[in-house]
Amino acid sequence: MRVLTHAAELSPFDGCAFVPTMGALHEGHLSLVRAAAAGGAPVVVSIFVNPTQFAPHEDFTRYPRPIERDLALAESAGAAAAFVPPAEVIYPPSEVIEVPPLPGVATAPQLEDRVRPGHFAGVCQVVARFFDLVRPMTAYFGQKDFQQLRVVESMVECSPTRWKGLRIAPHPTVREEDGLAMSSRNIYLAPQERLRAVGLFRALQSANAANHPATAELLMKQTLTAHDLEIQYAVVRDANSLMPVSDFSRPTRALIAVKLGAVRLIDNAALTVLR
């Protein structure tokens, strides 16, 4: 596997399958790499902790960066190259890297962007920059960050000439045996916190017993509270727009964000409710 640090080194990989990450790779990331490799195109994995999507009070400085381990894991999963750029390659000091227009799904639902103002501006800025530099034909994103996935899909849909032919390939959330969604931040959880964290998955399961979105939201909040989790949101939304729904007549998604001590966790699931 080649390790690349500058944009000029990417030219042999035009049309690649691309897996953008912030490192601290786990099985969720590796499942994306394996899915990308199965498509036949060479796989480029980026490893870059993007400062513009962290608020000043968030964990940018302590975000895990086990680079040698990450490179070995990426190679074992089938990556042909790892793009590990220094910050000045992504954000050159002499160049203004514009933030693409935010699609409505970034802000109108009042979910992540309400809790983390400016977060999706940073996501769109860095993802657009990577798409411009890497020039992939397919980019793989996990569904655990479901709103992020919808934001990236919408951003690409709104720029058909900028990234001509680019396909965004969603991949299901990968979970631990007890249902907790795999996340680089799970390593921050103390043993007792880890036991409580499974409440997110149990809350999503409880929503499937409801026959109305409001009931599903109530059941999720009750389950999260029973696990002593600080709720930021626990909602049922339209699976495409992420706007509120009044019934289950179209595809819906349950989305949760909580604080557990100093750790913030998110999760989501499609609802297959009893009617």
Instruction: Report the catalytic residues.
Output: 29
Residue partners of 154: CB distance under 8 A and separation at least 6:
103, 104, 105, 106
Distance (Å, whole) CA 155 – CA 106: 10
Instruction: Report the distance separating Cα 104 and Cα 167, nearest Å.
Output: 20
112 to 90, 105, 106, 136: CA distances (angstroms): 24, 10, 8, 27
| Residue 262 token pair | 């100093």
Give Cβ neighbours of residue 57 (< 8 Å, ≥ 6 apart). none
Q: Which two three-digit tokens encode residue 254?
A: 């349950």
DSSP 230-256: EEEEEEEEETTT--B-SSSSS-EEEEE
Tell me how far apart the alpha carbons of residues 82 and 112 are, in angstroms, rounded to a whole number.
29
Give residue 33's Cα distance to chain centre: 14
Which structure tokens are listed for 172? 């299901």
3-class SS of residue 81: strand
Rounded Cα–Cα distance for residues 137 and 194 (Å): 38
The residues near 152 (Cβ < 8 Å, ≥ 6 apart) are 123, 124, 127, 139, 141, 168
